[in-house]
Structure 1
Amino acid sequence: MNKHLIKKYNVPGPRYTSYPTVPYWENDTFSLIRWKQSLKQRFLENSTEEGISLYIHLPFCESMCTFCGCNKRITKKHEVEVPYIKSVLKEWKLYRELFGQRPVIKELHIGGGTPTFFSPENLEFLIVGILRGSHIAEEYEFSFEGHPNNTTEEHLKVLFDLGFRRVSFGVQDYNETVQKAIRRIQPFENVERVTKLARKIGYTSIGHDLIFGLPFQTVDDVKHTIEKTRLLNPDRIAFYSYAHVPWIKGNGQRGFDEADLPKAHQKQEMYQNGKQLLEENHYSEIGMDHFALRTDSLYQAVDEKRLHRNFMGYTASKTQLMVGLGVSAIGDSWYGFAQNVKGVEEYRSLIDNNILPVFRGHILNEEDVIIRKHILNLMCKFSTQWSAEEGRFSELADVLIQLKEMESDGLLEIGSDHLKITTKGIPFVRNICMGFDLRLKRKRPEAQLFSMTI
């Protein structure tokens, strides 16, 4: 990858866990009533057959990690656990009452924050409460995020007994200087312990999250981290570019100086070396940022053309209805999106008053649906197709004309009814999706809203 292309395309851009992206949601045309209507419509259409996804956000952490862009509450007071869980269960009850019949849960993911901040007993209390009054799909996937420093054997056993078979552990980097800068001191031995425990208990998909582009990080650090990771042979690896957005996340990402971050060309070298090492060790690239062994469900989803992307990232099964529970959680009815309030106190107050704690959202129009389809295809398959009817959509013709420059740079190939991203173009998938992003084209943000694409 030459430095000219890196310099040319290293611009701020969305990660496309949704379209439209959150800054372009039309909150003035959105309402709680419209959100409820869109949810019920999708539920009645096919969620009984297809099932629904649940994302549960547990925001508490005992300490601040400066690389983190998630919504979290820093505290060492574990008495916050039970009151918060009761609010989440009541929120879920409000959704079940809206649906009018027992939902079928196909996918459930617990994220954070630090889910393993919660005791095993309280996590059991949460999941038992969620599953009560619901059906579980014949084929389902339950997963959670574990912190290697505080995930215990009891955590793993309790969740395994409740049906969880996938767990991801945040590793980031094994260099001590990098760990100190991001305030995440985490020895290899801790990661080794929980990985082996999970495998012994019977988890069938164990993931490690690695990040490149961190402060003080070098290419050799990335190589070292991947070599150590290889010893544990996780089933899937998320290999993320660090998203430096302190203007959005505040002081949480100000634990180091801007000069301590690698330059764009250094990050690209980290990515290329990391990708090569992963492929040499039999990990296949799956969508953007993700690698998996051929035996993992994520690889199989690609092979069977089932890979899907939503606010949880890449998933091995597609559902068109996702309910987000907890502070800041985002739901997707396929016709619209809605996000919960971000403050714990406000969230609990609304729930106590039997009000769904939504504070913003977007109802998709016909154009949004077309563009979302193409962006999802590009993110999940590195290709997309359009029908003759869509081909007459004037905006699509303009998009393809503007993408000609990327075709000249060897990043993609455009046919009469399709577009395919080349191997050379995969690192630039976000840029290619931006070419389809009509809302971004029509109104460029005055301030920087997104992380850099490279």
Structure 2
Amino acid sequence: MSVSIVQKYNVPGPRYTSYPTVPYWEEEKFHLDDWKRTLLQSFKESNATEGISLYIHLPFCESLCTFCGCNKRITKRHEVEDPYIAAVIKEWKLYCDLFPRKPIIKEIHLGGGTPTFFSPENLEYLIKGIFQYATKAEEHEFSFEGHPNNTTKQHLQKLYDLGFRRVSFGVQDYSPKVQEAIHRIQPFHNVAKVTFWAKEIGYTSIGHDLIFGLPFQTLADVKDTIDKTKSLQPDRLAFYSYAHVPWIKGNGQRGFKDEDLPKDDEKRMLYEEGKKQLAQNGYHEIGMDHFALENDSMFTSFKEGKLHRNFMGYTASKTQLMIGLGVSSISDSWYSFAQNEKTIEDYYTHLADNQLPIFRGHVLTPEDLIIRRHILNLMCQFTTSWKDKALDFPELPSVLASLEEMQEDGFLTIQDDTITVTEKGKPFVRNICMAFDLRLIRKAPETKLFSMTI
């Protein structure tokens, strides 16, 4: 791949876990009543047929990883666990009081922060508290993020007994120099131990999260990390581009200098080498930045055209309604988005007043819903179509015209009423989606909002 192509398309752009993206939400038009109305509409349409999803944000970490862009609270004081879990359960009860009947939960994902900061007993208390007011779907998928340094066998066994079958471990990179730069000292032995425990207990989908483009990371580092990873045979992998957004996350991403990061062509080479090694070891590319073995549910979902993407990332099954619980969590009714307060103190204050802790949101317009569908199609299946006239829109001709250069560069094909992303174009799917992003096109950012696409 030529340097000119990489430089040409390496621009700031969204990761499209939603459309519209958060900076383009019309917050001034949003009211809590809008969220409740669309919440109930979506619940009535989908609860009985597909159930709902829960994302539960557990924000505490004992130390700061300087690559991390998540909402977190650094503390070693574990007495914070009890009041936080009580608050999450209270928030969930406020939702359940709105529903006309018991919700059926199809998916739960525990994210963070560090979910395994919490004791196994407290995680059990949390999940049992959730199911005081809900029932479990027959074909459910419960997952959590585990930190290899503090995930115990008791964590894994307790969550397995509660119905969890998928776990992802944050690995990032095995190079000691890289680990020191990102403040995440994590020996291979720790990752191997928790991976083998999970296999022994019976988890059916074990994932590792890797990152390319980290400070001081070299081609040899990526090769070594993937060699070590393949020896453990996780069922799925996330191989993310490091999102360097220190202007958003403050000093948390200032543990190294900008010049310590691999740039443009060098960074893309790390991805291409990693992707090649993964393919040689039986991992299939799924959507953007994800890879899976053929036995994994994500591979099956991709092949069957059922892969879905939301604020949790890629999921093997779709639910129309996703509720985010906990500080900073984002909920999605399909018709609107709502985000919780970002500080724990503000989150607690709302709940003390028996109010949902929401501070902003967006109600999707009819145009938003059409564009959202096209972007979801491209992100999940690498293709989209407007054969169904309900997916046509007035600006489509100009969108297609803007994609002609990418077609000439071999990233996609446009035939009749269908766009298909080529193998060469898959690493540039964010750029392709940006051509559909009418809100971004109409109002280009005046400040830095997004990470680079490559």
Assess same fold via TM > 0.5: yes
- Partners of 1:212 and 1:270 within 8 A in 2: yes
Q: Percent same amino acid among aligned pairs? A: 67
CA 1:393/1:173 → structure 2, altered by over 3 Å: closer, same or farther? Answer: same
- Partners of 2:46 and 2:319 within 8 A in 1: no
- Partners of 2:17 and 2:310 within 8 A in 1: yes
The CA deviation at 1:304 is 1.3
The 3-state SS of whatever aligns with 2:359 is strand
The amino acid across from 2:223 in the alignment is: K
- Partners of 1:383 and 1:421 within 8 A in 2: yes
Is residue 281 of structure 1 aligned with residue 303 of structure 2? no
Match of 1:430 in 2: 430
CA 1:45/1:392 → structure 2, altered by over 3 Å: closer, same or farther? Answer: closer
CA 1:172/1:392 → structure 2, altered by over 3 Å: closer, same or farther? Answer: closer
The amino acid across from 2:320 in the alignment is: Q
- CA–CA separation in structure 1 for the residues paired with 2:211 and 2:302: 23
> How does 1:36-55 map onto structure 2 within 5 Å?
36-55=36-55
The 3-state SS of whatever aligns with 2:419 is strand
- Partners of 1:390 and 1:396 within 8 A in 2: no
The CA deviation at 1:405 is 0.8
- Partners of 1:243 and 1:452 within 8 A in 2: yes
> How does 1:53-452 map onto structure 2 within 5 Å?
53-387=53-387, 389-390=389-390, 393-452=393-452
Deviations 1:270-316 (A, max 9, x none): 00000000000000000000000000000010111110000000000
The CA deviation at 1:388 is 5.7
- CA–CA separation in structure 2 for the residues paired with 1:373 and 1:391: 8
CA 1:403/1:93 → structure 2, altered by over 3 Å: closer, same or farther? Answer: same
Q: Which runs of 4+ in 1 moved over 3 A?
A: none
The CA deviation at 1:369 is 0.4
- Partners of 1:195 and 1:206 within 8 A in 2: yes
Structure 1 gap segments, 5+ residues each: none
- CA–CA separation in structure 1 for the residues paired with 2:14 and 2:194: 33
Deviations 1:4-32 (A, max 9, x none): 11010000000000000000000011110
The CA deviation at 1:415 is 1.3
The CA deviation at 1:45 is 1.5
Deviations 1:140-172 (A, max 9, x none): 100000000000000000000000000000000
- Partners of 2:141 and 2:166 within 8 A in 1: yes
Deviations 1:88-134 (A, max 9, x none): 00000000011121000000000000000000000000001011221
- CA–CA separation in structure 2 for the residues paired with 1:44 and 1:100: 8
The amino acid across from 1:215 in the alignment is: P
The 3-state SS of whatever aligns with 1:145 is strand
- CA–CA separation in structure 2 for the residues paired with 1:351 and 1:276: 49
Deviations 1:393-412 (A, max 9, x none): 22111101111111111100
The 3-state SS of whatever aligns with 2:102 is coil
The amino acid across from 1:354 in the alignment is: N
- CA–CA separation in structure 1 for the residues paired with 2:39 and 2:391: 30
The amino acid across from 2:139 in the alignment is: E
The 3-state SS of whatever aligns with 1:17 is coil
CA 1:279/1:446 → structure 2, altered by over 3 Å: closer, same or farther? Answer: same
The amino acid across from 2:173 in the alignment is: D
- Partners of 1:213 and 1:261 within 8 A in 2: yes
The CA deviation at 1:173 is 0.3
CA RMSD for the aligned pairs? 0.8
- CA–CA separation in structure 1 for the residues paired with 2:134 and 2:388: 42
- CA–CA separation in structure 2 for the residues paired with 1:352 and 1:293: 46
The amino acid across from 2:41 in the alignment is: Q
Deviations 1:307-357 (A, max 9, x none): 000000000000000000000000000000010001001101111111000
- CA–CA separation in structure 2 for the residues paired with 1:342 and 1:366: 29
The amino acid across from 2:122 in the alignment is: N
- CA–CA separation in structure 1 for the residues paired with 2:165 and 2:45: 29
The amino acid across from 2:140 in the alignment is: Y
- CA–CA separation in structure 2 for the residues paired with 1:98 and 1:380: 32
Instruction: Tell me the matched-pair count.
Output: 454
The CA deviation at 1:392 is 5.6
- CA–CA separation in structure 2 for the residues paired with 1:180 and 1:393: 50
- Partners of 1:391 and 1:417 within 8 A in 2: no
- CA–CA separation in structure 1 for the residues paired with 2:391 and 2:135: 42
- CA–CA separation in structure 2 for the residues paired with 1:383 and 1:66: 35
- CA–CA separation in structure 2 for the residues paired with 1:388 and 1:86: 47
The amino acid across from 1:101 in the alignment is: R
CA 1:259/1:140 → structure 2, altered by over 3 Å: closer, same or farther? Answer: same
- CA–CA separation in structure 1 for the residues paired with 2:244 and 2:116: 25
- CA–CA separation in structure 1 for the residues paired with 2:362 and 2:428: 27
CA 1:187/1:387 → structure 2, altered by over 3 Å: closer, same or farther? Answer: same
- Partners of 2:386 and 2:392 within 8 A in 1: no
The 3-state SS of whatever aligns with 2:395 is helix
The CA deviation at 1:233 is 0.3
CA 1:178/1:351 → structure 2, altered by over 3 Å: closer, same or farther? Answer: same
Structure 2 gap segments, 5+ residues each: none
